[in-house]
Structure 1
Amino acid sequence: MPRAPRNVPRTPPACSNARAPRCHHAFLLLLRLLLRVVPPPPPPLLPAPRRNSLRQRHGETAVMAPPRWKSGDGHRRLLLLLCCCLLAFPCHAQQQVTRNNVTRRSDQVIHSFVGTYGINYGRIADNLPAPEVVVRLLKLARIRNVKIYDADPKVLAAFRGTGLNLVVAIPNEFLKDMAANPSKAMDWLNENVQPYYPSTRIVGITVGNEVLGGQDTGLAEALVGAVLNVHDALRMLRLDAKIELSTPHSEAVFANSYPPSSCVFRPDLMVYLRPLLDFFSKTGAPFYVNAYPFLAYMSDPSHIDINYALFKPNAGIVDPKTGLHYDNMFDAQLDAAYFALEAAGYAGMEVRVAETGWASAGDATEAGANMENAITYNSRLRKRLFLRKGTPYRPERAAKAYIFALFNENLKPGPTSERHYGLYKPDGSVSINIGLKGLVPSSAPPPSTLVPFMGVRAWGRIVQYSAALLPCTLIFLALAT
C-alpha cells in the first residue's frame, strides 16, 4: 500500500538564478581609493614672463605644461575608464545562494545542466547502436547533456569517464514500491548509482515521467512518497547535494495555458503538486515540463498559425493581461508554466523543458508531421537555445531544454509520429538535418530551411557583454566631463 505523503514544511520559493554576482561595491571602493591617490591636476600656467624668453635665447628651457595624457587629470580619466570596464564583467568569486534561510556557496549548488541544449536518449527499439557508439556520436555532435528513461547498466558503463552529464530515471512502475518501502529506494541507488558514480557523471535522477494528469490516481499518490524516499536515500549516501532530484510533467497538469498569464495548475492535482513543489523549492530543483508546440498545433491546426509553432516570422500574440508579445509558442509554453508556479506561490522556481521536438513523419491525421517542419523547428529551436535568451516574462533566465529525441525508435507504440522524432537514424546517419554531424554519410534532405548557426554562441556572448558595458561607458563619460 503506498505510503501517505509526508507533510513537507512550506517554504518560500527559492531563487535559482545562478549567475555570478557583479562586485560593484569592491570596484567602487577601488575607484575612490585611486581617485585619492592620483594628485589633482596642476593649475594652468600663466604666460611666461619676458625673462623666460631671454633665457630661452641663452639655451635655458622654459617650464612647460605636461601633455594632457601624462597629467593627473589624464590619469584620473584612464583609471575611471578601467574601473567602468571592470564593472561590466562578472566577478568569479565564490557566490552565495540563499534558499529557505540556508546560505549555500556556489560550489554546493547542483549544476545538472551545462549550457542550454540537451538530448533525450530513448531506446525503445531493436536496431540502435551500442552505447559506446552513441557516446562517440554525442561527442561528435557536441551534445553534453543527456537524459535517459531508465538506468541501463550498459549505458552507465559506456558513459564512464566521458565527462557527459547524464540524467537517469526511475520508471513509473517502481514508484509504488518505493513509496511503500524506503529500502527499495536505497536498493535502487545501490544497484544503479553507487557502482558508477562519480566516474559516470550522473547529475540527476527523474522520479517517474508524466505521472500527474493521468488516469492512475494510485501512481499519483505514490509519487510524493517515492521522491521523498529517494531523497532520504541520497542523503544517507551523501549524494543529495550532488545529484538533482526531479520529476517531469506534461501539459496536462495545467487547467488553462492560453494566454500564458492565465495559466494555473489544475485544482484537483494540487493535493499532489503542493508537497512536490514545496520539496523542490527547498532543494532548489527546477520544474520540468514536456513542451510540444507540435502537439498543440496538431490538436487545432485550423486556429493555430504553424509559423507561430515553428519559430517562423509571424504576427504572434499579445497577452492581454501583461501586454507581453510572443512570436513563438515555445516561449509562450514556458511562460505559462512560470505564471502557474507564481500563482501557486513559487515565483522563484526555474522552469526547464524535459522534452520538446517535432516529428518528421506521421499519419494522415497528424497535421504538420513532415520532414520540412521537423528541420525548421529543431534548427530554429537550437539557435534560440544557444543564444541563451530568456522568455518575455523571465528574460533574465536562459531557457534550457532536452530535445526529443536522439534516435527514431521503431518499437514505440502509438501513431506513426511516435517513431519519427529522432535527429538520427539507428545507423548513426542524420535523419533530421539541422547541421549536426553523423557517424556515416546521410541521405537526409539538405537543410534548406536551416537557420544560419555559425557563431551563434559567440554572438550571444558579445551581445551579453556589450549590454553590460554600455551603461558603464555612459557612467565614465558622465564622470569624465
Structure 2
Amino acid sequence: MREKEEQIRAVELINDGHSHKNLSSGVLCPTTFNRHKTPLCNKSPSCRFHSITTSPPLRRSPPPAFLDSAALKWSLKAFTALLPSYSSSQVQNLITASFFIIVSVYLSQFINTLTSMWYTVVMISPVMVTSIGVNYGQIGDNLPSPEEVVPLVKSIGATKVKLYDANPEILKAFSGTGVEFIVGLGNEYLSKMKDPSKALTWIKQNVTPFLPATNITCITIGNEILALNDSSLTDSLLPAMQGVHSALVTAGLSDQIAVTTAHSLAILQTSFPPSAGEFSPGVIDYLKPILEFHQKTDSPFLINAYPFFAYKGSPKEIPLDFVLFQQNQGVVDPTTGFHYDNMLFAQIDAVYSALAAAGYKTLKVQISETGWPSKGDDDEFGATPENAKRYNGNLIKLMKNEKTKTPLRPNNDLIIYVFALFNENMKPGPTSERNYGLFKPDGTQAYSLGFTLNDVVKGGSGGGNSSSNGGGKTPVLPMTPVAPDNASTGYLAISSAPGKRTGKEAVLSMVVIMLLARHLL
C-alpha cells in the first residue's frame, strides 16, 4: 500500500513540473529536462514513467559495449522517458536493433557497389583494350583533313598518336578526344633547341595553346639521329633534349610532358640471341649521357623496330611465320632458355639486354615505330597486302588482348606505335616507303586487318570488313561505341540507374535485416 502511494506521489510531482527522485535512489533525470509540461506528461496514468515503475524488465542479453558509456546511459534514460510503453532494456535492444538495421542498409549499398564492380570486371573487361598507338605521317598531297582522321584513328581502337611535328590543325582536331599525343621536333630544329629560351618560345607557340584540351604527353627530338653518322646532329641531340626539358620546367609542364628521341635498331651491334644484345661501340659514348638523361627525367627510351627489314635481307633464312606473328616453332635463347615465337619481341628483349649491359636496366622502352608495307619494289621481298595484313593485324590483336609482354619483361606491357596511318605519296625512297599505311588517303582500308572495324569504314584492295560506297571522301565515323544487340552480354550491360538495387540485392538486404532483428528483438 505504501509503495502504491509513492508511485502516485511521483506522478503528481511530475505533473507539477518539479524535480523528482527515483523511487529507489539517485537522480532519475535532471531538473532541466522537465521544465516544460507536454501533452504526454499531463496524461495520467499514462505518464512516461508509468511503465518503468509498474512493468518488470524483460530478461535480455546485456547491451553491446559501445552502449555502456555514461553519456549513452544518460541518453538512454532520457530517451526512455519519451517512450511510455517500453522498459529501459527494451529501449536498449531497440536502439541496438536500429543500429544494426542502419548498418545492414549500408551493407546492402556496399553489396550493390561490389555487384557493379563485378559487372564492370566481367562484362567490360573483355572489350576494353590495351592502348594502341599509331604514327600519323603527313608527307602527302592527298591526305584527308584532320577532322576526318579522328574517326579513322578511333576505328582501329588507337588511343595514342605520334606526330613528326606539332601540326596545330591536328592538335586542334583531336581536342577533347582524350587521345595521347607525342609531338615531334624535326632534325632541323636541334641546333635551335639547345637554347632553352628558344625552346620555351617553341613550346609556348606549339604546345601550350592546345593544353589541356589536347593530351600532349611527350616531345621527341629528332629521329634516328645516332644512325645517321652526322656529327653535327649527334653533338646537338642531347643539348637539344636538355634545352626542351628545361623549357618545360620553366613552363611548369615537365611533370606532364616527357622529352625523348627515337632510335633505329641499327644502334645495336648484336641483337641475337636477345640475351646478347649490346649497343654498337660507335654510338655508346653518345648514347650513355642520353640514357642518363632518361633515368633522371623518367622519360621513355624509344626504338624503331622493323622485322620486315630483317626478312627482306634474308628471306631464305628467316621463317616468314616467325616475323608475322603466325604459328611457328619459334627460337630459344640458349643463355636464358626463353622461347620466342616472334621476331619483334626478340628484338625488343635485345634492346633490354643492351640497356642492362650499359647499366640502365630499369629504363622504360617503347616501340615508336613498327609496321609492314603492302607494296614494294621487286627486291623488297615480302612487301604484299597479305603479309601487311598478317603483321599489323596480328600485332594489333596482341595489343587488344594485352599480350605485349616479352619473355625478358613479363610484367611490362609494351607501348607500341604502328607505322603508319596512311600511305604517303610524297615520301622519297623505295616503293615500300609510300605503302606502309593502314589506310589509303581516301579513307578506305589499304588491306583488311583481319578484325572488324567500325562498319562505316570502307574496305581496301586487300579485302575489307564492309563494302565500299565508291566515294572518294573519308567517311565520318561515330565517335562512341554502339551498344550490342544483346545488352546483357555487352559492355553497356550495367544499369544506368546506380541508385536502384537489383532483385537479388534487395532480397539479400532484407534477409540480413530480418536475421538481425530476430536475433536482437
- TM-score bracket, shorter-length normalisation: 0.5 to 0.7
Distance in 1 between the 2:456 and 2:422 partners?
A: 13
> SS where residue 158 of structure 2 aligns?
coil
Is the counterpart of residue 258 in structure 1 residue 272 in structure 2? yes
Shift of 1:388: 1.9
Q: Of residues 364, 381, 384 in structure 1, which corresponds to 2:395?
A: 381
The corresponding residue for 2:334 is 320
Match of 2:408 in 1: 393
CA-to-aligned-CA distance 1:452-472 (integer Å, 9 cap, x gap)? xx9xxx9xxxxxxxxxxxxxx
Which residue matches 1:271? Answer: 285
Counterpart of 2:252 in structure 1 is 238
Which secondary structure state, in structure 1, belongs to the residue aligned with residue 429 of structure 2? coil
- The secondary structure found in structure 2 opposite 1:245 is strand
- Counterpart check, 1:170 vs 2:191: no
Tell me if structure 2 keeps the 8 A contact 1:213–1:253: yes
Aligned-partner residue type, residue 177 of structure 2 = T
What code does the residue aligned with 2:372 have?
W
Q: Which runs of 5+ in 1 are unaligned?
A: 1-85, 90-113, 449-453, 459-481
Distance 1:169 1:137, change over 3 A: same
Q: Which stretch has the larger CA shift, 239-248 or 114-123? A: 114-123
TM-score, structure 2 as length reference = 0.63
User: Structure 2 vs 1, CA of residues 170 and 233 (structure 1 numbering), >3 Å: closer, same or farther?
Assistant: same
Partners of 2:448 and 2:254 in 1: CA distance:
39
Secondary structure (helix, strand or coil) at the match of 2:134 reads strand
1:183-211 Cα distance to aligned partner (Å, 9 max, x none): 22111111101111111111111111111
* Deviation (angstroms), 1:438: 7.2
Asked whether 1:217 is paired with 2:234, we answer no
CA offset at residue 437 of structure 1?
Answer: 3.5
RMSD over aligned Cα, in angstroms?
2.3
Question: In 2, Cα distance between the equivalents of 1:137 and 1:356?
Answer: 19
Matched, 1:207 2:189: no
Mapped contact 2:458–2:464 kept (Cα < 8 A): no
CA-CA distance at 1:443 after TM superposition: 3.8
Structure number with greater CO (CA < 8 Å, separation at least 6) is 1
In 1, the alpha carbon distance for the partners of 2:168 and 2:259 equals 20
Q: Structure 2: which amino acid aligns with 1:445?
A: G
Residue 229 of structure 1 aligns with an amino acid whose one-letter code is G
Residues 439 and 183 of structure 1, relative CA distance in 2, 3 Å threshold? farther
1:446 match? 463
Deviation at 1:155, TM superposition (A): 1.2
5 Å matches for 1:28-427? 115-179=130-194, 181-389=195-403, 390-427=405-442
Residue by residue over 1:105-140, the C-alpha shift from the partner in whole angstroms, topping out at 9 and shown as x without a partner, is: xxxxxxxxx934110000000000001111122223
Contact 1:427–1:440 (CA under 8 A) maintained in structure 2: no
Partners of 1:325 and 1:136 in 2: how far apart?
Answer: 38
* Partner amino acid, structure 2, of 1:202: I
What is the alpha-carbon distance in structure 1 between the residues aligned to residue 455 and residue 230 of structure 2? 40
SS at match of 1:176: helix
Bigger CA drift: 265-274 or 234-243?
265-274
Q: Structure 2 vs 1, CA of residues 447 and 310 (structure 1 numbering), >3 Å: closer, same or farther?
A: farther
- CA change 1:255–1:215 in 2 (3 A) is same
Contact 2:446–2:459 (Cα < 8 Å) also in 1:
yes
Q: Is the 8 A contact 2:385 2:447 kept in 1?
A: yes
State the SS of the aligned residue for 2:225.
Answer: coil
> How high is the sequence identity, in percent, across the aligned residues?
48
Determine if contact 1:429/1:438 at 8 Å carries over to the other structure. Answer: no
Aligned residue pairs total: 341
Quote the Cα distance in structure 1 between the aligned partners of 2:180 and 2:130: 11
Partners of 1:363 and 1:437 lie apart in 2 by 32
Which whole-Å CA distance do the structure 1 matches of 2:462 and 2:264 have between them?
Answer: 32
- CA displacement at 1:162 relative to structure 2: 2.0
Q: What amino acid is aligned across from residue 258 of structure 2 in structure 1? A: E
Deviation larger for 228-237 or 431-440: 431-440
Residue aligned with 1:401, SS: strand
Contact 1:430–1:438 (CA under 8 A) maintained in structure 2: no
Preserved CA contact (<8 Å) 1:140 1:438: no
**Stretch moving more, 201-210 or 403-412:** 201-210
> 1:292, 1:265 → 2: CA distance?
17
Listed one character per residue, the Cα deviations across residues 288-310 of structure 1 (whole Å, up to 9, x for unaligned) are: 10011111110111211111111
Alpha-carbon distance between aligned partners in 1 of 2:455 and 2:464, rounded to the nearest angstrom: 14
> Which amino acid in 2 is paired with 1:294?
F
Report deviation, 1:270. 1.7
Contact conserved, 1:206 with 1:246, CA < 8 A, in 2?
A: yes
CA distance in 2, matches of 1:289, 1:350: 11
| Equivalent residue, structure 1, for 2:103 | none
Q: 1:141 to 1:349 in 2, by over 3 A?
A: same
Distance change >3 Å, CA 285–CA 276, structure 1 → 2: same
Q: Distance in 1 between matches of 2:238 and 2:418?
A: 26
Instruction: Find the aligned partners of 2:190 and 2:331 in 1 and give their Cα distance.
Output: 40
The 8 Å contact of residues 305 and 369 in structure 2, kept in 1 or not, is answered as yes
- Highest CA radius of gyration, 1 or 2? 2
Read off the aligned partner of 1:231 and give its amino acid letter: H
Q: CA deviation at 1:348?
A: 1.0
